[in-house]
Structure 1
Amino acid sequence: MPNPSERPRRIRVQRDGPLLVEGPVEVVGEDGEVTVSRRFTVAICTCRRTRTPPWCDTSHRRRRRRDETS
């Protein structure tokens, strides 16, 4: 149970980008592995193109949208 004096974590959603989460955070993967970051803000990958899961490495920037390829 969270401490009632703490405010909730803020998560910012960006179109075609990562989730920006106010840290520190613990991310639990599908396999149960826990990854920790103590940074002020962390970027969680949502496109699954990152080489450093679960953290975003900006690989989504190299992706071209379908409407841009024509």
Structure 2
Amino acid sequence: MPDSSAERPRRIVARREGPMLVEGPVEIVLEDGTTVSSDRFCVALCTCRRSRIFPWCDTSHRRHSPAARPAADH
């Protein structure tokens, strides 16, 4: 990865429901030491750990979020 001291800081957008959006390119070190990278201009990182392609978001959070569930009839 390029020396980030010469560049402006990376922008990370944290959202209450959904992924963290990170300006790319990025390199991520997983818990087991595996490194994954993306050259995209922006990546969505999974924060709910439901993604089948973790650490990248596949929108699995949408199926489980309270806002996505229909309201119960009373």
Q: Which runs of 5+ in 2 are unaligned?
A: none
Partner residue, 1:6: 7
TM-score (norm 1): 0.86
Query: How many residues in Structure 1 have an aligned counterpart in Structure 2?
Result: 67
| Pair 1:8–1:59, CA change in 2 (3 A) | same
Q: 1:1-70 maps to which residues of 2 (within 5 A)? A: 2-65=3-66
Q: Please state how far the C-alpha of 1:14 moved relative to its aligned partner.
A: 1.0
Structure 2 counterpart of 1:41, one-letter code:
C
TM-score (norm 2): 0.82
Kindly name which structure, 1 or 2, has the bigger radius of gyration based on alpha carbons.
2
Q: Please state how far the C-alpha of 1:4 moved relative to its aligned partner.
A: 3.3
User: Runs in 1 of length 4+ with deviation above 4 angstroms?
Assistant: none
Q: CA RMSD in A?
A: 1.6
Q: Distance in 2 between matches of 1:61 and 1:3?
A: 33
